[in-house]
Amino acid sequence: MSCKPFLLLLFVIIINTAFGQARKPVPVIFDTDIAGDYDDVGAMAQLHAFTDQGN
């Protein structure tokens, strides 16, 4: 068995890790009305989901 696929995979992971963390944080202004409806909760959940995905 050749080790070329393993080395290629390792190289791709290292490059992805090195350049994936070079992103600068994006400032976000979360402006809401904080009323009795649920759109504010959904917006906050969406912001957290974007953060978890690295967006």
Position 51 scores a pLDDT of: 84
pLDDT tier, 16 (very low <50, low <70, confident <90, very high otherwise): confident
**pLDDT score at 5:** 78
Question: 47: Cβ–Cβ under 8 A, 6 or more apart, which residues?
Answer: 28, 30
pTM over the 0.85 mark = no
pLDDT at 1 over 60: no
Give the CA-trace dihedral at 33, 39, 45, 48, to 10 degrees.
-40
pLDDT attached to residue 17: 74
Report the distance separating Cα 43 and Cα 50, nearest Å: 11
CA–CA distance, 4 with 27 (Å, rounded to integer): 42
